[in-house]
Structure 1
Amino acid sequence: MELRDIEIFLTLTEELHFGRTAERLHVSQSRVSQSIKQQERRIGGGLFERTSRAVRLTPLGERLRDRLRAGYSEIISGIEEATATARGQAGTLTIGTMATHYQSVEAILDLFRQRHPQCELRLREILPTDPLGPLRAGSVDIGILWLPIREPDLTVGPVLHREELVLAVAAGHPLAGRGSVQLEDLGDHPVVYPEGPIPDYVWEAHTPSTTPAGRPIRRGLGIVTLEEAFRAIARGDVVSPIGSDVASTRQRGDITFLPITDGPVLHYAPVWRGDGENALVRAFVRAATEAQRTT
């Protein structure tokens, strides 16, 4: 079976429509039909059930799809990687992370650098209050952002990192002497809120607007940067959930970090512009996926 025939078969298993398959692959509908008929003759059994209304996979077709899909993906990835290496794939790929989160994806960055030594990898900090702006402005090619991200112009890759939240309070705050807190405690104290274009649903995953019992969590001081948040917290004006990874690198005498026993866990994934996807972006996502398998 030729590689092109495998591509036609797998595409038809997704579209279940000969016309759409032909359009997607930029071939004629008769080319699709001919390819499927040749594969069925070679295999000796039907792969699709065709009626005037629908196209369905047969059990034999389903088994073949499941066996071919992973292998085809590996073949294409291998070809793209070999092509990039042969061309000495050059260029610049800019990765945006929040604060020190680049450390959590260091293994991915190392693997990408090994595979693409001709590519210059740059790191830029993304403000939590404006996580999508640098992507849309083109100053960042891939942002490592916490989920959810539900934007039609952006593509979300696989989860790379998980981070628990802790509560940052002033050293003299009434909560500071406790060993831990619960989300319900946030209903008694004002929290920071972002003065930036971060979507409400994204911030909600970090700092919810209500407690588990339904009490509103009051907004206190608006901030733009993490340092602004820490200054306000240290003064005792507000409290705030903070990622545990960030908290571990910002230990200071005027702020106490408390575990949130029922707090949310942030899931981080690579995010990129759909119209900005290129070979370097795909190579980074492949490196990220493979690095995850080995950890």
Structure 2
Amino acid sequence: MLERYELEAFLTLAEELHFGRTAERLGVSTGRISQTVKKLERRVGTPLFARTSRSVRLTPVGRTLYEDLLPAYRQLRAAVERATAAGRGVLGGLRAGFVTPWGGDLLTAAADALLAAHPGCEVTVREVPLDGGVRALLDGTLDVQLATLPVREPGLTTGPVVLRDDRVLLLPAAHPLAGRPSLGPEDLAGLPLIVPTGTHPGYWLDHHYPRRTPSGAPVGRGPAAATWQEVLSHVTAGRGVAPGAARGAR
């Protein structure tokens, strides 16, 4: 029988495929996750993950175990959450996610307003990593997310636009385009764009990280990044450029 920390470590690593992000989500050290997974693999008798210095992926046995365990884990967690809510007298819970700092400010203010009007509710606000896309909505980890459009996923409902902003291009300070007062889509020609890793759908990537300019000139691809800090590091090192929001520049 799996213990709770083994189950959570395995399922989270199967979703993240990254030991550091798994440790961050569970609030433990990377070494603890590695030890837990190795212990579980010894118990099962076969590797559950194939690891290299650059990647982590599920083995066929690991994939089967993940698909078998996930529904049962969700049922168990939902039952505990319902019992906890009933014990606290909470009438309902809402899990909300954001990607950008200003998105976090908006959601926190909205949560405060909701709780003031309905003190019997419980609201959890958490950050979604750059490479997370809307995966947390699709797998039921979040109930609502302040996401960057477009979102056209089956089963998800898109609400009203709550924030608009100008687009900017993150460039090294010494880049020839950095001194321009403004840039247009054609200026992306030949530039290597830093693209987020993760599960973003193709239509979303094409919208924000196009492979061609409107006139058809090719746009390059730079290194991939899982966090905004990685994006900034790549830009600073001159490895590529990245689109962003004006609020991010400020």
1:160 aligned residue: 162
Q: Secondary structure of 2:214's match?
A: coil
1:235 aligned residue: 237
Cα drift, residue 107 of structure 1: 4.7
Match of 1:178 among 177, 180, 183: 180
Q: Secondary structure of 2:165's match?
A: strand
2:91 aligned residue: 90
| Residues in 2 aligned to 1:89 and 1:204: alpha-carbon distance in whole angstroms | 42
Cα drift, residue 242 of structure 1: 0.8
- Residue 147 of structure 1 contacts residue 205 of structure 1 at CA under 8 Å; is this kept in 2? no
Cα drift, residue 113 of structure 1: 2.1
- Residue 89 of structure 1 contacts residue 119 of structure 1 at CA under 8 Å; is this kept in 2? yes
Match of 1:109 among 67, 92, 111: 111
Q: Secondary structure of 2:113's match?
A: helix
- Residue 108 of structure 2 contacts residue 125 of structure 2 at CA under 8 Å; is this kept in 1? no
Compare CA radii of gyration and give the structure with the larger one: 1
- Residue 105 of structure 1 contacts residue 160 of structure 1 at CA under 8 Å; is this kept in 2? no
| Residues paired across the two proteins, number | 161
Cα drift, residue 235 of structure 1: 0.6
Identity within the alignment, %: 36
CA RMSD between the two structures: 1.8
Cα drift, residue 196 of structure 1: 1.1
Q: 1:257-283 CA distances to partner (integer Å, 9 max, x unpaired)?
A: xxxxxxxxxxxxxxxxxxxxxxxxxxx
- Residue 168 of structure 2 contacts residue 246 of structure 2 at CA under 8 Å; is this kept in 1? yes
Letter in 2 for 1:114: A
Q: Secondary structure of 1:222's match?
A: strand
Higher strand share: 1
Say whether 1:169 aligns with 2:186: no
- Residue 128 of structure 1 contacts residue 198 of structure 1 at CA under 8 Å; is this kept in 2? no
1:44 aligned residue: none
TM value normalised by structure 1 = 0.51
1:134-153 matches, within 5 Å, as 134-153=136-155
| Residues in 2 aligned to 1:107 and 1:91: alpha-carbon distance in whole angstroms | 18
Letter in 2 for 1:97: F
Cα drift, residue 128 of structure 1: 3.1
Letter in 2 for 1:158: P
Cα drift, residue 90 of structure 1: 2.7
Which shifted more, 133-142 or 98-107? Answer: 98-107
Q: 1:175-200 CA distances to partner (integer Å, 9 max, x unpaired)?
A: 22222221111113111112211001
| Residues in 1 aligned to 2:90 and 2:207: alpha-carbon distance in whole angstroms | 38
Cα drift, residue 124 of structure 1: 1.1
Give ranges in structure 2 of 5+ residues lacking alignment. 1-88
Letter in 1 for 2:140: G
TM value normalised by structure 2 = 0.59
Q: Secondary structure of 1:245's match?
A: helix
1:219 aligned residue: 221
Give ranges in structure 1 of 5+ residues lacking alignment. 1-87, 249-295
| Residues in 2 aligned to 1:111 and 1:198: alpha-carbon distance in whole angstroms | 31
| Residues in 2 aligned to 1:198 and 1:163: alpha-carbon distance in whole angstroms | 21
Q: Secondary structure of 1:175's match?
A: coil
